Amino acid sequence: MTHPSNPTSSSAVVGQRLRLRADPGRLAAIAKELTTPALLTAFALYLVVGIVTMQVPDGTPFPGPAVFPGLVAAALLVLAGLLVVRSVRASRAGARAGLSEGSPTDAVDGSDAPDAPGTGADGSAVPERTVRVDWRSLLWVVVSFGAFALLLDVLGWVVGAGLLFLGVAKGLGAPGWLRPLVVGFTVSAISYIAFDMALELSLPSGILGWGS
């Protein structure tokens, strides 16, 4: 295994060698493979709709405003197609064990960092572990942030951000309720004082109604 040179890969993010894996079952594996092409296709379609409905002022010389988005959308569709083709081929070849996941990333990059990882005979590189997506944590964070965004004007910064802090902390598995709540309100109050009052950014005061 070579270390990925992708600076935003999972191991770089948390400093540990982890890789998310799909839920068990063939369907979930296919779903994981198709997420990237689906994302690219969806955005390409959005751009295409934008190009079709675009109102170009008369007399705009070539190359007009639609050319560049058109190129981008075409490239996105081609890439999505290539990704699908590759994952289909890999899953066919993947009848031989484990090849579907690792081969495209492993084969690459051997030239960039030739002998970087295999430094020690005792294997200093921690073996990569695969873990499942923790959907409950994901929902905690996403729902907390969504609620924060929608209710911010009503609740105000101190209450809203305090609750956001609580939600995200719970999502990351903080024990207890009182402690994250107290810490959250401390953080939100201090940030309100520092940024709204001292640096004069405008934050909503909401139901507490102080400061404005």
Query: How far apart, in Å, are the Cα atoms of 177 and each of 167, 168, 212?
Result: 10, 12, 30
Interface residue with another protein, options 1, 27, 88, 142 (CB under 8 A): 142
Q: How far is the CB of 55 from another protein (least distance, A)?
A: 6
For residues 203 and 20, give the distance between their C-alpha atoms in angstroms, rounded to a whole number.
Answer: 37
Query: How far apart, in Å, are the Cα atoms of 101 and each of 88, 105, 118?
Result: 12, 8, 21
Considering only residues 57 to 86 of the shown chain, the ones binding another protein according to CB under 8 A are 57, 60-69, 72-73, 75-76, 79-80, 82-83, 86
Residue 138 is a binding residue for another protein (CB under 8 A):
yes
Q: Which is nearer to another protein, 98 or 209 (CB)?
A: 98
Considering only residues 82 to 121 of the shown chain, the ones binding another protein according to CB under 8 A are 82-83, 86, 103-117, 119-121
Residue 193 is a binding residue for another protein (CB under 8 A):
no
Angle (nearest 5°) at CA 211 between 206 and 212? 75
Q: How far is the CB of 41 from another protein (least distance, A)?
A: 10
Residue 84's contacts (CB-CB under 8 Å, 6 or more residues apart) are 34, 37
Interface residue with another protein, options 31, 35, 128, 193 (CB under 8 A): 35
Q: Which residue has the tokens 């994952």?
A: 87
Residue 155 is a binding residue for another protein (CB under 8 A):
no
Residue 197: both structure tokens together:
């009052």
Residue 185 is a binding residue for another protein (CB under 8 A):
no
Residue 178 is a binding residue for another protein (CB under 8 A):
no
Residue 152 is a binding residue for another protein (CB under 8 A):
yes
Residue 207 is a binding residue for another protein (CB under 8 A):
no
How many CA atoms within 13 Å lie on the side-chain side of 3?
Answer: 19
Q: What does 171-187 look like in DSSP terms, one character per residue?
A: HTT-S-SHHHHHHHHHH
Interface residue with another protein, options 28, 30, 90, 183 (CB under 8 A): 183
